[in-house]
A and B are shown apart, each in its own frame.
Chain A
Amino acid sequence: MRLAGQDLVVGYDDRTVIDGLSVEIPSGQLTVIIGPNACGKSTLLRALGRLLKPRGGSVLLDGELLHELPPRQVAQRLGVLPQSPLVPEGVTVADLVARGRQPHQRWWQQWSPADQEAVKTALADADIVELADRPVEALSGGQRQRVWIAMALAQQTEALLLDEPTTFLDVAHQVEVLRLMRRLQQGGRTVVAVLHELNQAARYADHVIAMKDGRIVAAGPPADVITAPLITDVFALDCTVIPCPVTATPLVIPNP
């Protein structure tokens, strides 16, 4: 699974957010996109996930033009979880996760043993088997987030793009979601996520993309990207970076 963007120009209405950006998503790795608010990281993720059509340039999925492939086919290969999705009224967890099977179904074949199996696996992977019959509305933020991830997992795609999956979660739930992302990557998937927490990015990512003003400033392993000069430049934050005493990954400490 290769996902790449070439000379991308992306924006909303009259505003261009990204102007001429090229990016390569390493396959089979956990990639994290970091950057200050409004730097275009979500916009990039949305363009890569076919949620937003670029005005210029192209997104390539295994060498094919993403925006010219049939949407159903893309949805079988690429899973995307948008930021804070709307929860439909009165839907149970199992029912919502089953929606992830939509791209694999036909009007004459709306439920198959493969669907059943995929939903079961997705519930287990996201660790929400015991919530299956609960209404999604009644769940906590952390549980809901895992339900949405399970829906994307039921899609059984090789790649998974997540837009700020840890926002609005407490630290324990954040770590839970990050561990889940790590497990998915270890299971052979390509995972891309937009994250705000630099130390989490440094600890869990294989590959970090740092963005500023719609451009990629640096990309590479966390130790190469998350350095004091780069963070100072990208976030305009005076800081010190030390090796984490537990994992030896970079640890960003804002200067007093």
Chain B
Amino acid sequence: MIVSVGPASFVLPRRTLLVTLALGIVLLAAMIAAISIGTLAVPPLDVVRALLTGGTDYDLVVRELRWPRVVLGAACGAAFGLGGALIQSVARNPLSSPDVIGVTQGAGLAATIALTSGLAYELIAPAAMAGGLLAAVVVFAFGARTGFAANRFVLAGVAVAFALRAGIEVVMSSAETIDALRAQIWLIGSLNGRGYEEAGAIGLVLLIALPLLLWAARALRTSALDDDTARALGARPAARRLAVGALGVVLAAAATAQVGAVDFVALVAPQVARRLSRAERPPLAASALAGAALVVLADLAARMLLAPTQLPVGVLTAGIGGPYLVYLLIRGRR
């Protein structure tokens, strides 16, 4: 479908548009369900009323207790979904995502060091962010040696991720038991006891990234072509891989720093969006919405499965992501 406004014109594949709308509705329904379901059940209509106008019996539960957590889930899910979509597009590989190429592990190692060395609590998120970005720099540096060839980039990432995971083990085993336990809890991403503050930090990064995402959406139009063909069409594949990849890494690192390692969302959400819209690469808006809905639903399940015990959402997403990864491997790349 072609949308034109005066001299401006944009191409929107109809199916992608429909999928994006549908995922938006799914996200909205998931958010209402996540607020509605709990130890105290709130009727969905009252959820909407409490959020929009207030003045219901459930205002406290809805607005103070559950809404911030749902917003955080949606924000970090959107950031993971976008980060994964960007990295998968430039790497031309559905298995490459921030949790596979070392960003999550870098953040994890930095957070583990911070938690076990008694760093102030406020500094843990910035340290994790820095760790994730540093890991990405190492991966990019390896990639630069081969002109950012798509497959090398992913291999370098996997190698760095393994090394970092080993680093986490080393730090943990040499730390005090109580510190190691705190680090362990951080490493499995969770929305427990988190809310507006963390959501705000992720939201700020998303806001700053928005204009860059508009640019990326266009730059990615030739990303499914091989580098030579893209170059023949006037694109700069290496520069694009670096810039778009960096944007994806920043988004994923920002989310990881706030909620810990919510594994597989960045891997699965873009692929779900891509398969639904039958596109050659993950559509960005749909990936963000799929990621957001995935985290909100996974967190709801994590809260309810063993209620009143609350599982960390990272356990759930890993539980969904593992089998999905196996499915992808079995199905092959067609």
Chain A residues packing against B (C-beta within 8 Å): 46, 49-51, 70-76, 79-82, 85-86, 88-91, 99-100, 102-103, 107-112, 137, 152, 155
Which stretch (B131-139, B174-182, B202-210, B213-221) binds chain A?
Answer: B213-221
Which stretch (B46-54, B230-238, B260-268, B287-295) binds chain A?
Answer: B230-238
Chain B residues with CB below 8 A from A152, complex form:
232
**Distance in Å from the Cβ of B272 to the closest Cβ of chain A?**
15
Instruction: Identify which of residues 190-227 in chain B touch chain A, using a CB-to-CB cut-off of 8 Å.
Output: 214-215, 218, 221-222, 224-226
- Assess the B233–A91 pair: CB atoms within 8 A: no
**Bound complex: CA A80 to CA B334 (Å):** 28
- Assess the B334–A85 pair: CB atoms within 8 A: no
- Assess the A103–B224 pair: CB atoms within 8 A: no
**Distance in Å from the Cβ of B13 to the closest Cβ of chain A?**
9
- Assess the A85–B225 pair: CB atoms within 8 A: yes
**Bound complex: CA A112 to CA B4 (Å):** 9
Known: A86-B225, A88-B224, A110-B218. A99 touches B233 (CB 8 A): yes
B40 located at the interface, meaning its Cβ lies under 8 Å from any Cβ of chain A in the complex: no
Instruction: Identify which of residues 259-306 in chain B touch chain A, using a CB-to-CB cut-off of 8 Å.
Output: 278-281
- Assess the A76–B224 pair: CB atoms within 8 A: no
**Bound complex: CA A237 to CA B226 (Å):** 36
**Distance in Å from the Cβ of B217 to the closest Cβ of chain A?**
9
* Most interface-central of B2, B225, B233 (chain A CB within 10 A): B233
**Distance in Å from the Cβ of A8 to the closest Cβ of chain B?**
18
- Assess the B232–A81 pair: CB atoms within 8 A: yes
- Assess the A89–B226 pair: CB atoms within 8 A: no
- Assess the A102–B228 pair: CB atoms within 8 A: no
B121 located at the interface, meaning its Cβ lies under 8 Å from any Cβ of chain A in the complex: no
- Assess the A109–B8 pair: CB atoms within 8 A: yes
Q: What per-residue 1/0 map shows which CB atoms of B1-14 lie under 8 Å from chain A?
A: 01010011111000
- Assess the B2–A79 pair: CB atoms within 8 A: no
- Assess the A90–B279 pair: CB atoms within 8 A: yes
**Bound complex: CA A73 to CA B9 (Å):** 21
- Assess the A99–B231 pair: CB atoms within 8 A: no
B229 located at the interface, meaning its Cβ lies under 8 Å from any Cβ of chain A in the complex: yes
The 5 closest A-B pairs by CB, nearest first: A75-B234, A88-B224, A82-B228, A80-B232, A86-B226
- Assess the B234–A82 pair: CB atoms within 8 A: no
- How many residue pairs link A and B with beta carbons under 8 A? The number is 82
- Assess the A111–B9 pair: CB atoms within 8 A: yes
- Assess the B10–A90 pair: CB atoms within 8 A: no
- Assess the B221–A102 pair: CB atoms within 8 A: yes
Chain B residues with CB below 8 A from A46, complex form:
228
Q: What is the chain A residue whose CB lies nearest that of B219?
A: A107
**Bound complex: CA A109 to CA B279 (Å):** 21
- Assess the A112–B9 pair: CB atoms within 8 A: yes
Which size class do B's interface residues fall under? 20 to 34
Chain A residues with CB below 8 A from B279, complex form:
90
List 23 contacting pairs A-B, 8 Å CB cutoff, sorted by A: A46-B228, A71-B236, A72-B234, A74-B234, A75-B232, A75-B233, A76-B234, A85-B225, A86-B226, A88-B281, A90-B280, A91-B224, A91-B280, A99-B221, A99-B222, A102-B233, A102-B235, A107-B215, A108-B7, A110-B9, A110-B11, A112-B9, A152-B232
**Bound complex: CA A50 to CA B228 (Å):** 9
**Distance in Å from the Cβ of A144 to the closest Cβ of chain B?**
13
**Bound complex: CA A152 to CA B228 (Å):** 13
**Bound complex: CA A75 to CA B49 (Å):** 56
Q: What per-residue 1/0 map shows which CB atoms of B92-129 lie under 8 Å from chain A?
A: 00000000000000000000000000000000000000
Instruction: Identify which of residues 305-334 in chain B touch chain A, using a CB-to-CB cut-off of 8 Å.
Output: 333-334
Chain B residues with CB below 8 A from A71, complex form:
231, 234-236
Chain B residues with CB below 8 A from A51, complex form:
228, 231-232
**Bound complex: CA A148 to CA B333 (Å):** 22
**Bound complex: CA A49 to CA B231 (Å):** 9
Chain B residues with CB below 8 A from A82, complex form:
226, 228-229, 232
**Bound complex: CA A91 to CA B280 (Å):** 7
Q: What is the chain A residue whose CB lies nearest that of B218?
A: A107
**Bound complex: CA A99 to CA B221 (Å):** 8
**Bound complex: CA A112 to CA B333 (Å):** 34
**Distance in Å from the Cβ of B26 to the closest Cβ of chain A?**
23
**Bound complex: CA A99 to CA B229 (Å):** 10
**Bound complex: CA A76 to CA B234 (Å):** 8
Chain B residues with CB below 8 A from A86, complex form:
225-226, 229
Chain B residues with CB below 8 A from A50, complex form:
231-232
- Assess the A107–B235 pair: CB atoms within 8 A: no
Chain A residues with CB below 8 A from B214, complex form:
107
Q: What is the chain B residue whose CB lies nearest that of A74?
A: B234
**Bound complex: CA A177 to CA B226 (Å):** 22
**Distance in Å from the Cβ of B18 to the closest Cβ of chain A?**
16
- Assess the A110–B334 pair: CB atoms within 8 A: no
Known: A51-B231, A82-B228, A110-B218. A90 touches B278 (CB 8 A): yes
- With A73-B234, A79-B232 known, 20 other A-B pairs at CB within 8 A are A71-B231, A71-B235, A71-B236, A82-B228, A85-B226, A85-B228, A86-B226, A88-B281, A89-B280, A89-B333, A89-B334, A99-B221, A99-B225, A108-B8, A109-B7, A110-B10, A110-B11, A111-B4, A111-B9, A111-B11
Chain A residues with CB below 8 A from B233, complex form:
75, 99-100, 102-103, 155
* Most interface-central of B222, B224, B236 (chain A CB within 10 A): B224
**Distance in Å from the Cβ of B273 to the closest Cβ of chain A?**
14
